[in-house]
Chain A
């Protein structure tokens, strides 16, 4: 009964917010409930019978969370999870309210939460987690995070809330140092890539500092090989073959993270086959490797959001891809911070477009990329790009910033989840 009044107020707020802005206002009810019942979030998060699992880190936490939830559900576990856009305090409370009964109780055996690395330490005050999984330490949002030490410090505070196990990326030197400080009684589980996989990533894995040693296969879950969207995880003696949602070593690392975390959560109940099937059934996401049939062509869409994702995604475009449309929109106010990246592997780009087309072309030219045409009008660029014949090698590939993605979807009439 304790939270019934607050829940009622939260519900009314949500109703009012949606009248004002249909489909929107999702953080406001959480803000209100956090104000009038400040303990609701901590109590509810601590109240799941099989505990709380937290996934955090600089990059890959959304995919890892999604993969972990799929593995747990495939094992028959009822999971509460948050949408990735609701990974800070008020959004999290709002997400709980969506599922709560009138007393504020949220159904589920276990909660799996994706946690923003910046806000996680604050949200986790007074909350005990069973398991905390950490993906990596990168510095990509220079406005928010100045250096790697700062990010690692925030992740350490989140990891300190784990009372059963922490799961860390063994290839990330910051996380390895953090794991060495784990308290007594807290198990440390690890995942990582093999020496062969690392050798095939010429620019490394994008972590602020990569560990010198690779993880031995008897010490954790190892990404043994990645070939396109096919990957093999080595788990002790066993080799587990999986299909990734899209090409890219980073997806294989996310899968290894989810696999190792599921083992920590499920213990004896964990089944390799069930986990492999669940991982392989995860669909691609629009803008993150999903191929869509548009105007008679198979088209791959690649979203670039920050320098780290830009580099990873550009590197994952098949070399020799003949037709590429590259569009940077007004969401990138000043593209200077993308300059330290290297897009030379693209070789040639058919059309550079978007409101920052000239800036983007200038950057690509200094990377040594040949450009056939610069067309700032994105609608015209898309029409012309799709009207041309199918490429001899590779599929038609569209690389875009978030704003150019929205405009592209609107122009092509593509709908679906963000």
Chain B
């Protein structure tokens, strides 16, 4: 049987908040469904496996942006090819920003992105940290935690979803994230795929289909998804309470 291979890009630089663990979430759920899966940590081009079924890149510190960018540039062609071939690529926080057109700093300096995703990161006043709730036409109701120091413009044509709570792309857009085919950028930090199993299963279904496999969530996934539901409800409750306090 084909082993689904999930690439975790630059996990030592880009895992400050557990974002890279989304790769392990995909592997676990595939295993729970009875499929073979593995995570390959890629720190440089030499680590790239022959077969790639999904790619996850998390968020790092601003100090590591240049280092991360120069490593990603050595895999520019592969990233483009995966994107056009329908390989799911989940990018979070600064990992997403590096896949965009670029990053503008407050002092006017810029970092050119890889241009895999439309739009760019722009400065905002103060860091956003808090719960975010997003309605996505493709992935359903997404609940997560956002933590970012920049807004994102240029995603208006194809956002991940509409905000029900939180700041998301900011600048009054009411939107969060960006989607281009199977390439996704989001501010939702940490193991967003564990918290939102429908999102994970959507990606797993695309991976399985490309690999000629069948994917249906396993019984162990149902147990974990029960905890995810409780965690989502707790977070939605907190957001709801905050909203009603704000309305009063």
Show the binding face of A for B, using Cβ within 8 Å: 142, 146-147, 333-340, 357-359, 361-363, 365-366, 368, 371, 374
Contacts and interface: CB of A to CB of B under 8 A. Distances in A.
A366 B230 CA distance: 15
B84 interface: no
Dominant SS among interface residues on chain A: helix
B92 to A, nearest CB: 10
Interface residues of B, number: 30
24 contacts: A146-B63, A146-B64, A147-B64, A334-B147, A335-B190, A336-B19, A336-B189, A336-B190, A336-B191, A337-B17, A337-B18, A338-B18, A339-B190, A340-B15, A340-B20, A359-B231, A359-B234, A361-B230, A363-B194, A365-B220, A366-B21, A366-B194, A368-B28, A371-B227
Interface string B9-41: 000000111111100110010000000000000
Contacts of A361: 227, 230
Nearest to B146: A334
Contacts of B243: none
A404 to B, nearest CB: 16
A147 B61 contact: yes
Contacts of A333: 129
A137 to B, nearest CB: 15
A317 B219 CA distance: 29
Nearest to A338: B18
Contacts of B63: 146-147
B223 A365 contact: yes
B195 interface: yes
Given A358-B234, A362-B224, A371-B227, 18 more contacts: A142-B16, A142-B61, A146-B64, A147-B64, A333-B129, A334-B17, A334-B145, A334-B189, A336-B145, A336-B191, A339-B191, A340-B18, A361-B230, A362-B228, A363-B191, A363-B194, A365-B224, A374-B227
Interface centre among A142, A338, A362 (most CB of B within 10 A): A362
Nearest to A307: B18
Contacts of B224: 362, 365-366
* Residue of B129, B189, B224 ringed by the most chain A CB atoms within 10 A: B224
A361 B20 CA distance: 19
A82 to B, nearest CB: 31
A401 to B, nearest CB: 16
A339 B223 contact: no
A167 B220 CA distance: 50
A365 B64 CA distance: 32
A334 B190 contact: yes
Contacts of A363: 191, 194
Contacts of A339: 18, 21, 190-191
Contact of A146 (B20, B61, B194, B228): B61
A69 to B, nearest CB: 36
A183 to B, nearest CB: 29
A365 B195 CA distance: 12
Contacts of A368: 28
Contact of B16 (A337, A357, A359, A374): A337
A358 B234 CA distance: 8
Nearest to B13: A147
Given A336-B17, A338-B18, A366 B191 contact: yes
Contact of A366 (B19, B28, B61, B64): B28
B113 to A, nearest CB: 21
Contacts of B24: 366
B227 A365 contact: yes
Contacts of B61: 142, 146-147
Query: Which residue among A338, A357, A366 has the maximum number of chain B CB atoms within 10 Å of its CB?
Result: A366
Contact of B25 (A338, A357, A366): A366
Most buried by B among A339, A357, A368: A339
B227 A358 contact: yes
Contacts of B195: 362
B189 A358 contact: no
A357 to B, nearest CB: 8
A363 B224 CA distance: 9
B231 A358 contact: yes
Contacts of A365: 220, 223-224, 227
A336 B231 CA distance: 12
Contacts of A147: 61, 63-64
Interface in B47-80: 61, 63-64
Contacts of B190: 334-337, 339
A361 B25 CA distance: 14
B207 to A, nearest CB: 18
Contacts of B16: 142, 337
A362 B17 contact: no
A340 B18 CA distance: 6
A67 B108 CA distance: 51
A365 B29 CA distance: 11
A336 B18 contact: yes
Contacts of A374: 227, 230
